[in-house]
């Protein structure tokens, strides 16, 4: 039986079945030999570390001695479903590592270990998976947080955007450190570690949905070193949160609600790159609601603002950090913005989906 859709290998006398080492097929998710081969070929070389090499269904490890004696643990998880898989400044792999490193870091923890769960679509070129996994490993190395456990599943063609990646992470919070969204107090200052909206616009641009090339690069980055530096310089930090989905405005609203305070920001102080603002103006988007993947909101007592900003300015991911607002007692659970023209605008949370799905 011949099938003209089957590829013909050079030199082969007749059509042969589709090569399984070039693209993902259902058997790669069977848990059998093909899964083992995929792990050995793609995942193990990239993520190689002694804990992962235990090859069990779990990773076992000791906590750092100091963490054993003092402190608590933080754990977080995030699923990544970005389309396209590659965009200016990053890809789904870098996003999956940085997203969870950052979520764990928002507790004031030092992230220690990551897990990674892959849901791969049948037909994904193995070469593409290798690029993603290589990017994950580069991000994990940059963050200093190894991937110690993983899982691979394969779903039928059309049932995932190439690949979905879930990561979970644990970290160690030093004793006495108290950071959380409910801890903002009137009088505190609100900082942002850099310009907003880059990630969302970069992803839309990569999709060709802007109708023009925005020349914007995603900010996706691991923030654990930046946050460590901020906490050393300004130990009084009360809130750390990364304005991802929903953007700066939605994240500030979450904090205002959890802390039962008003947050007032000043439009003129918010760093926004010119091409991001231009893209938003042209399309009617508000950059305050556009996703970021390498920025952190820092809320802290006013006397530590200078120290925190100086610490951020010394690091590449904090070079454009700025003080953008203050915490007030009322109107509680509201975010207000003093606009360029001197008015005050209420910033609500993002109601539904302003942009096409970007993360």
| Separation CA 74–CA 154 (nearest Å) | 30
- Site size for a second copy, by CB under 8 A? 83
Mask for 314-353, x = binds a second copy (CB under 8 A): ----------------------------------xxxxxx
Is 127 exposed, middle or buried, given 0-12, 13-18 or 19+ CB atoms closer than 10 A? exposed
In the region spanning residues 220 to 279, those forming contacts with a second copy, defined by CB under 8 A, are: 241-242, 244-246, 250, 254, 258
If one asks whether residue 76 binds a second copy (CB under 8 A), the answer comes out as yes
Return the residue of 1, 12, 69, 268 that touches a second copy, per CB under 8 A: 69
Phi and psi at residue 93, in whole multiples of 5°? -70, -50
If one asks whether residue 77 binds a second copy (CB under 8 A), the answer comes out as yes
In the region spanning residues 275 to 304, those forming contacts with a second copy, defined by CB under 8 A, are: 289, 291
Question: Shortest gap between Cβ of 250 and a second copy (angstroms)?
Answer: 5
In the region spanning residues 115 to 134, those forming contacts with a second copy, defined by CB under 8 A, are: 115-119
Q: Give the DSSP letter of residue 316.
A: G
Kindly state the tokens that stand for 6: 């089957």
Closest CA to 347 of 268, 286, 282, 283: 286
Question: Shortest gap between Cβ of 184 and a second copy (angstroms)?
Answer: 13
Question: Shortest gap between Cβ of 11 and a second copy (angstroms)?
Answer: 25
Please name the helix (run of DSSP H) or strand (run of DSSP E) that holds residue 79, with its range, or none: strand 72-80
If one asks whether residue 160 binds a second copy (CB under 8 A), the answer comes out as yes
If one asks whether residue 157 binds a second copy (CB under 8 A), the answer comes out as no
Specify whether the CB–CB gap between 76 and 169 falls below 8 A.
yes
Handedness of CA 119, 124, 126, 130 (dihedral sign): negative
Return the residue of 6, 8, 19, 68 that touches a second copy, per CB under 8 A: 68
3-state secondary structure of 8: coil
Question: Shortest gap between Cβ of 268 and a second copy (angstroms)?
Answer: 25
Question: Shortest gap between Cβ of 204 and a second copy (angstroms)?
Answer: 15
In the region spanning residues 23 to 42, those forming contacts with a second copy, defined by CB under 8 A, are: 25-27, 29-36
Return the residue of 43, 47, 87, 113 that touches a second copy, per CB under 8 A: 113
Question: Shortest gap between Cβ of 342 and a second copy (angstroms)?
Answer: 28
If one asks whether residue 72 binds a second copy (CB under 8 A), the answer comes out as yes
| Separation CA 289–CA 197 (nearest Å) | 8
| Separation CA 350–CA 359 (nearest Å) | 15
Return the residue of 97, 109, 133, 145 that touches a second copy, per CB under 8 A: 109
Give 62 or 341: the residue with its C-beta nearer to a second copy: 62
Which residues neighbour 274 within 8 Å (Cβ) at sequence distance 6 or greater?
none
Please name the helix (run of DSSP H) or strand (run of DSSP E) that holds residue 77, with its range, or none: strand 72-80
| Separation CA 158–CA 25 (nearest Å) | 13
Give 291 or 327: the residue with its C-beta nearer to a second copy: 291
Return the residue of 132, 136, 168, 335 that touches a second copy, per CB under 8 A: 168
If one asks whether residue 49 binds a second copy (CB under 8 A), the answer comes out as no
Closest CA to 97 of 160, 197, 166: 166
Strands 322-328 and 189-192: antiparallel
Give 88 or 354: the residue with its C-beta nearer to a second copy: 354
If one asks whether residue 74 binds a second copy (CB under 8 A), the answer comes out as yes
| Separation CA 314–CA 339 (nearest Å) | 29
Question: Shortest gap between Cβ of 234 and a second copy (angstroms)?
Answer: 19
Please name every residue paired with 299 in a beta bridge, in sequence order, or none if there are none: 190, 239
């Amino acid at each position: 039986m011949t099938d003209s859709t089957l590829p013909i290998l050079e030199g082969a006398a007749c059509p042969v079945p589709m090569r399984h080492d070039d693209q993902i097929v259902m058997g790669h998710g069977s848990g059998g030999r093909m899964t083992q081969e995929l792990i050995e070929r793609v995942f193990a070389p990239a993520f190689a570390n002694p804990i992962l090499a235990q090859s069990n269904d779990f990773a076992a490890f000791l906590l750092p001695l100091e963490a054993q004696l003092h402190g608590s643990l933080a754990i977080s998880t995030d699923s990544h479903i970005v389309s396209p898989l590659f965009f200016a400044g990053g890809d789904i792999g870098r996003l999956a590592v940085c997203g969870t490193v950052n979520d764990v870091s928002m507790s004031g923890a030092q992230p220690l270990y990551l897990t990674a769960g892959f849901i791969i679509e049948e037909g994904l070129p193995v070469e593409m998976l290798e690029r993603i996994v290589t990017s994950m490993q580069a991000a994990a190395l940059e963050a200093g947080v190894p991937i110690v456990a993983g899982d691979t599943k394969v779903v039928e063609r059309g049932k995932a955007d190439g690949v979905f990646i879930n990561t979970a992470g644990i970290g160690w919070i030093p004793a006495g450190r108290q950071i959380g969204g409910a801890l903002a107090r009137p009088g505190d200052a609100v900082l942002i570690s850099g310009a907003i909206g880059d990630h969302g616009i970069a992803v839309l641009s990569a999709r060709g949905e802007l109708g023009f090339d925005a020349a914007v690069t995603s900010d996706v980055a691991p923030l654990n070193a930046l946050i460590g530096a901020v906490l050393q310089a300004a130990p009084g930090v009360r809130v750390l949160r990364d304005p991802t989905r929903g953007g700066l405005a939605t994240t500030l609203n979450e904090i205002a609600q959890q802390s039962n305070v008003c947050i007032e920001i000043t439009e003129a102080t918010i760093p926004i790159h010119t091409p991001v603002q231009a893209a938003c103006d042209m399309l009617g988007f508000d950059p305050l609601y556009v996703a970021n993947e390498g920025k952190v909101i820092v809320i802290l007592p006013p006397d530590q603002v200078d120290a925190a900003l100086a610490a951020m300015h010394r690091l590449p991911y904090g070079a454009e950090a700025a003080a953008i607002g203050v915490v007030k007692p009322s109107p509680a659970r509201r975010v207000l913005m003093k606009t360029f023209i001197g008015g005050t605008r209420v910033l609500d949370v993002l109601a539904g989906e302003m942009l096409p799905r970007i993360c």
